[in-house]
Amino acid sequence: MEMYQKIERIGPAQFEAEIKLVDGDKTEKITTRTYERCNSIFAAYKSLIKALRGLHDCTVTLYTNHHQLSVELFKERAKNTTLANMLDDILAAHNIKIEKGE
């Protein structure tokens, strides 16, 4: 399964997160959500977590425009943050693996 995440600033401390999921049959599901009174990394993590909650037993190839999220997931793994811990819990509970999309 492929996941395309786009985080865009739409105002001061306001971000729009778009997630597009593409399954093996090339069926697309797009969700958009606005996050207010936060920073961009919060919107990136929360939108990813929400999208993963509906998935089970799969590998997700993640394409994201959020540089810091990509660094935290694939280079310098964030271990001691609440959002990283929430993501790890979802991945373990739903048997999901995330790999980096090039």
Please write the tens of the pLDDT for every residue from 78-97: 776 899 999 999 999 999 99
Q: Which residues pair with 100 in a beta bridge?
A: 62
Say if pTM beats, i.e. exceeds, 0.85.
yes
Give the span between the Cα atoms of 58 and 46, in whole angstroms: 19
Q: Which domain holds residue 73?
A: 2-100
SS (H, E, C) 60-80: EEEEECCHHHHHHHHCCCCCC
Contact 99, 62 (CB under 8 A): yes
* Total tally of structural domains belonging to the chain: 1
CATH code where residue 17 lies: 3.30.420.10
Give me the pLDDT at residue 76, please: 86
Instruction: Report pLDDT digits (tens) over 28-80.
Output: 999 999 999 999 999 999 999 999 998 999 999 999 999 999 999 998 877 76
Q: How far apart are CA 23 and CA 29, in angstroms?
A: 9
